[in-house]
A and B are shown apart, each in its own frame.
Chain A
């Protein structure tokens, strides 16, 4: 799968929650786009990712 433009490979199936834990990210402060569609936080646990998925994880940064 591609996460934020970077290729990642996992040996076993992995859910969105597990991906976020792996990346050390706090799920309250980010938004996940799965294949260009926003994924509601309520679906993080039961959404299983496949190797062909494209994931964008975005968050707030400083800006004017």
Chain B
């Protein structure tokens, strides 16, 4: 299967995974392995001075590409500040822009996201913006030099699946940079569906982390993403309103 090229790097896997909400950090390492993913997201927060626990980086294999997000940012300025702090960690210059001021649905602010993208691309970051699926925003992000666009399937952590199918399909059809469907993917079948639609990759976190067996669920997502991709490349057959027999229509013995 063709490699996935993102931010100038080649990846075998089209599944990106998140590290939030895992009940035990040890599970993250196992899930990463089972997923065979090459890109993993993280968040940046104040260190808790009361309980110094083992750093998340200890659970992530060294060969993974880290994609820190700007979660917690409410506007472009805050997102840029978080991007700078992430870069100073010395783990690369990739950044997933996430600008959110709506706490109920955690829907992204496309305008502030675009603003932050323009500035961070100029500063040399590999920028992956998380957006509501709006074609015009996606086009402007392409012009701004984003490495990908990441339209949402449904609200973050909701496991509700792809509720933005029509709009996501338009973005997939019209945008030439990688389109990574992010957020809300609740089951491997959701991931397979968007891959069949022609999405370049998917980002999954909650569906794996909240499964009873995250390790096996990561494997299920790996297979679903592969199946969806192969189906897309193989081009689905045409749909029709009525039946088309798969077997000859003649009677069993007489014609």
Contacts and interface: CB of A to CB of B under 8 A. Distances in A.
A37 to B, nearest CB: 10
* Chain B interface category by residue count: 35 or more
B107 interface: no
Is chain B's interface secondary structure helix, strand, loop, or mixed overall?
Answer: mixed
Given A63-B19, A63-B20, A64-B206, A25 B56 contact: no
B47 A4 contact: yes
A29 B52 CA distance: 12
Nearest to B88: A31
Contacts of B69: 63-64
A38 B88 contact: yes
Interface in B43-64: 43-47, 49, 52, 55-57
Nearest to A4: B46
Interface string A16-41: 00000001111001110100001010
A59 B203 CA distance: 22
A62 B42 contact: yes
Contact of A62 (B28, B49, B89): B28
A60 B68 contact: yes
A16 B90 CA distance: 18
A42 to B, nearest CB: 12
Contact of B56 (A31, A57, A60): A60
Contact of A23 (B46, B49, B66): B49
B157 interface: yes
Interface in B88-146: 88-89, 91
Given A63-B19, A64-B20, A64-B156, A4 B49 contact: yes
Nearest to A8: B49
Contact of B46 (A26, A29, A40, A56): A56
B71 interface: yes
A3 B49 CA distance: 9
B42 A58 contact: no
A6 interface: yes
A23 B52 CA distance: 9
A25 B54 CA distance: 10
A19 B41 CA distance: 29
A52 B100 CA distance: 32
**Which 7 pairs, one residue from A and one from B, show the smallest C-beta to C-beta distance?**
A63-B43, A64-B18, A64-B205, A62-B19, A62-B20, A31-B88, A60-B42
Interface of A: 3-6, 23-26, 29-31, 33, 38, 40, 56-64
